[in-house]
Structure 1
Amino acid sequence: MRWLDTEERGGSPLVVSDKNDVDALLNIDHRIIDRNLIKREVHKSGLLIRGQNHIGMIPVSHDLGIRVRPKVPVSQIVQMLSLISHDIVELPFGLAEITASEDDYDLLKAIRRSFCDQLPTLIQKGPIRRYRRNRSIGPGARGRIDVSGTINRAWARGRYDHLSTEFYEFDYSNFLNQAMKFAIGYLIDTMEESNNSIQQQMNILVESRTILESVSEAPPYLFLSPLRDHLSTDVSEEPYLSFRPLLNLALLIASGETPDVAGEAEGIQFSLPPLVLDMEKTFEQFCIAIFNKSLNGESFELLDTSGVSNTPLLHPPVESNHFWTPVRATESAHPDFVIQQRDSSWLIGEVKYSLSPSSSHIHQVCAHADAFSCNTVLLIYPSKTTLKSPRLEMLGFLAEKRVFRLWISIDFTSLDKLIESINMTALALLNSEDYSNKKGVANASQI
């Protein structure tokens, strides 16, 4: 497969001038555009492709794809994900199995390398035998005789020489092998142009696919649910324990490819589906996780109140007006998190995966604060540059609400030091009613 490389939102756009590539991009599956995975823009120099909040692999045609690179190495993103305790977006499993170097900015490449590192388990042990219970009615006795079934299903119909029996037989075409076969096929189909390292990976993938040749193929929506259930339970017996890392990665690949499971269940399928990670959701959950961890043992409690609605709950003021005029809306308030103490809300937090702070962000978080009767709000943004520690700024007051902004660097060098810094920042913010910085107090509605 041939790849076109671009960067996530905020990076340089990809300029496509080749006529065949432009035609393919203009006819890309509408669900790619509907999910806002990329944006297309016609320009005099060609077709501009801009990455959005998702990173990873996006198919264009059977032989062309777009790779959206993150702003930080994949190893840094894995560190962020490892702190998040619950499942998120498209990559719920397999995080511990991903190995990525510090200069690796290709999510699919890191997943493929990690998957190939685990394939010797399949090569050595072969497909997983999974036994299932079957029933049979016939003149011969195989397995355990089912007396009730024999009477009701055989003798009641005059077949006195027949017995109803139950027996177990193993089946290679089970959901575990089907998941591995799907992941192997996916990684082969998305393989880029060959070099020595790629050729080694291709060889082990082809060998593994041959081992699973007798396994029937299945679309992901048939095996995703039982595979999730299997991996959500603790197993200690073999061969399931040895296969667990490989199955985790297979689930990661299979669940990442499904933008609309319900749509797939209705027979609507991608010829080659996308494998992407929502960085906006990842950054939001990462910030909530580090605040929660930093406040562990303190008298404050963090509540994850994020919901599906991010609609501002009041209209922004007229541009000529520099005072805050709240307008109630019918939607419920869904701030990303609330920090409270003894049932009293102390701080409302909103996380924005944006490099350009907006006044609408201030109005949104203040509307949430109004619903929670809270007078301190915090907006969190990813830093444009590397910071040794998070940087807290006071923007000023909006009506009676104190508005703060916090910059967090996502290319941190030490997770423990970042959590320690967040702890100091949060406690200083929560315990001080008169916090200000060198900028002094401003009118937040003018920012």
Structure 2
Amino acid sequence: MPEIIECREFEELSVRVSALLQDGELRLDERITTKGYLTATMRGGQIALRATRFVGTIPLTPDLAVRVVPRATIANLSYMLVRSGVIPSAISGFARGYMPRFVATDNAERIYARSLIDGVKLIARRGYMKEYLPPKHQAPWRGRLLASDTVRKHASKGIRYRHEFEQNVLTPSTIENIALKMALKQVIDWLSENDRRNAMLPEARGLYRDMWHISDWDGAKSDLVRQLSRKIHTLSPRLPHYRDPLWSAYLILQSVLPELSFDGFVRLDSLIIDVSKVFEAFLRRELAARLAEHGYRVQDGNTAPRPFFRDGGVFSVHPDMIICRGDEVIAVLDAKYKPDPKESDRYEVLSFMDAMPVSLGGFVCPADGVDTSRFLGTTASGKEMVLLRYDLAAVDPDVEADRFAANVLRMIDGAHDYT
């Protein structure tokens, strides 16, 4: 297990240079240096690393990793991730422990496809496990006669001449291999429908074709998942290369993500999450679902930008949440995953309100335990600005989302006090 250093988002930590040396050279994991998960500077003979907006366990070298935790207390990061629709980055081949609790999602195939494919490749190189199992179609008058079974099953029912033979053959069609094959087929179907140009698709198809000698599952998927769960926990120590791909198959077959907020014993790919992006998308979806019944629409200004100048031009504005009634824009909100908006943030929201144009706008920030949602003030030109809080540590996320939507409706109605 690598050494793990923990810090919070946007915090800085120092790492001795010798800890990053491999064969006398300074080397960092290439998957990290190109993604901007951490920034690095040299200071006083040490590497100063600063966490950015990403959280998760980030490998630096095979022997050292940084675990970045959210700066805001988040009760259920997995729930937010699923509801936001944001797909995290999976660091294939670098595992961390998760609690054995899961949250339903619709993109487990995209997240864990790489891990499953790499795992099945390794298994194929080493050879698929085999067991002595009863064949699907047993040949008559072949095998070992079971006298006791004959008495128990047939003689007790008045059948005198029925016989039972026990037949076993050495086969790769074990629960483990069948589950891998079925999960691979699910990945192929998902990529074919949602991401046909993905380079993983031909890899998955080639591996699936090479599993022709493994039987397909002809029962309910739930039965396969239940048996797979038992098999994973009793996996032979001689087959350690099976464990990670089987857990990936388990998640894919159930379309679930692990609970990300706590450490546990389930070893899975480390997921790197842009929490600010998740926060924004999560708020927008929760608000849109709750305002629809009141006749409002919530648009994403990042996908539908508005021109900054009336006569067009190259400049545009991108509010996180544009609240409309019909074709009329009522208000704009900007999600800021930080304790408080800065002065530059206020100017940014004012530019959104000018471009729409609307006289009502503001921010949504995580609750900090002290400050509450409040009216910020009215500008000289009559624009009203508010600061709404969302409690990411709420025990019941649905109740908190209802409270947030109620505050937005109060803002639209012109109220200056919030719950």
Q: TM-score range by the shorter chain?
A: 0.5 to 0.7
The 3-state SS of whatever aligns with 2:293 is: coil
Q: Point out where structure 1 has 5 or more consecutive residues left out of the alignment.
A: 93-106, 116-175, 187-208, 257-272, 315-325, 439-447
Deviations 1:353-392, CA, capped at 9 Å, x for gaps: 22352222222222222222212112112233377xx523
RCO greater where, 1 or 2, for CA within 8 Å and sep 6 or more?
2
> How far did residue 237 of structure 1 move?
6.6
What is the aligned-residue identity percentage?
16
Q: 1:180 aligns with which of 116, 124, 130?
A: 116
Structure showing the higher strand proportion among its residues = 2
Residues 1:378 and 2:380 are matched in the alignment: no
1:369 is aligned with what amino acid?
M
Matched, 1:78 2:62: no
Counterpart in the other structure of 2:279:
283
3-state SS, counterpart of residue 295 of structure 1: helix
Corresponding letter in the other structure for 1:21: L
In the TM superposition, residue 210 of structure 1 has moved relative to its aligned partner by 12
Q: In structure 2, do the counterparts of structure 1 residues 335 and 60 end up closer, same or farther at CA, with 3 Å as the change threshold?
A: same
Correspondence 1:402 to 2:338: no
Q: Could you report, residue by residue, the CA deviation over 1:6-38 in whole angstroms, capped at 9, with x for unpaired residues?
A: 33424x433323623367995324652443211
Distance 2:35 2:364 in 1: 24
Q: Secondary structure at the match of 2:317?
A: coil
Partner Cα distance (2:337, 2:96) in 1: 22
Work out whether residues 313 and 364 of structure 1, in 8 Å CA contact, stay in contact via their aligned partners in 2: no
Query: Shift of residue 297 of structure 1?
Result: 1.6
For the structure 1 residues 437 and 177, does the alpha-carbon distance in structure 2 shift closer, same or farther, using more than 3 Å as the test? closer
- Report the counterpart of residue 130 of structure 1 in structure 2: none
Contact 1:5–1:66 (CA under 8 A) maintained in structure 2: yes
Report what 1:249 is aligned to.
251
Mark the CA change 1:231 to 1:437 in structure 2 (over 3 Å): closer, same or farther: closer
Q: Is the 8 A contact 2:2 2:62 kept in 1?
A: no
Deviation, 1:406, is: 1.7
Q: CA deviation at 1:405?
A: 1.7
Q: 1:328 to 1:243 in 2, by over 3 A?
A: farther
SS in 2 for 1:79: helix
Tell me the distance in 1 between the aligned counterparts of 2:377 and 2:289.
26
Instruction: Calculate the TM-score normalised by the size of structure 1.
Output: 0.54
Per-residue Cα deviation, 1:76-135 (whole angstroms, up to 9, x for no partner): 212323433xx313279xxxxxxxxxxxxxx94227x459xxxxxxxxxxxxxxxxxxxx
Residue identity in the other structure for 2:98: A
**CA apart distance, 1:64:** 2.8
The answer to whether the 8 A contact 1:280-1:352 is kept is: yes
Deviation at 1:284, TM superposition (A): 0.5
- Residue type of the alignment partner of 1:238: G
- Specify the code of the residue in structure 2 equivalent to 1:89: I
Q: Scaled by the length of structure 2, what TM-score is found?
A: 0.57
Q: 1:25, 1:305 → 2: CA distance?
A: 46
State the distance in 2 between where 1:39 and 1:177 align.
28
SS, match of residue 420 in structure 1: helix
Task: Determine if contact 2:27/2:61 at 8 Å carries over to the other structure.
Answer: no
Q: 371-380 or 396-405: which moved more? A: 396-405
d(CA) in 2 for partners of 1:341, 1:308: 16
Partner of 1:35: 35
Q: What value does the CA root-mean-square deviation take over the aligned residues?
A: 4.9
Aligned length: 300
| C-alpha distance in structure 2 between counterparts of 1:177 and 1:420, whole Å | 35
Does 2:238 correspond to 1:238?
no
Q: Does structure 2 conserve the Cα–Cα contact (< 8 Å) formed by 1:17 and 1:45? A: yes
Aligned partners of 1:290 and 1:355: how far apart in 2? 21
Q: Which position in structure 1 is the counterpart of 2:406?
A: 424
In 1, the alpha carbon distance for the partners of 2:318 and 2:350 equals: 12
> Residue 350 of structure 1 corresponds to which residue in structure 2?
334
Would the alpha carbon gap of residues 252 and 335 (structure 1) be closer, same or farther in structure 2, given more than 3 Å must change?
farther
Q: 1:367 aligns with which of 331, 351, 356?
A: 351
Q: Which runs of structure 2 are paired with 1:36-55 in the superposition (5 Å)?
A: 36-44=36-44, 46-55=46-55
2:13 maps to what in 1? 14
* Separation of aligned partners in 2, 1:373 and 1:177: 45
- Change in CA separation of 1:80 and 1:275 when aligned onto 2, cut-off 3 Å: closer
Distance 1:250 1:3 in 2: 29
Partner of 2:97: 109
Task: Kindly provide the CA deviation profile for residues 242-277 of structure 1, in whole angstroms up to 9, marking residues without a partner as x.
Answer: 567954735999x99xxxxxxxxxxxxxxxx96311
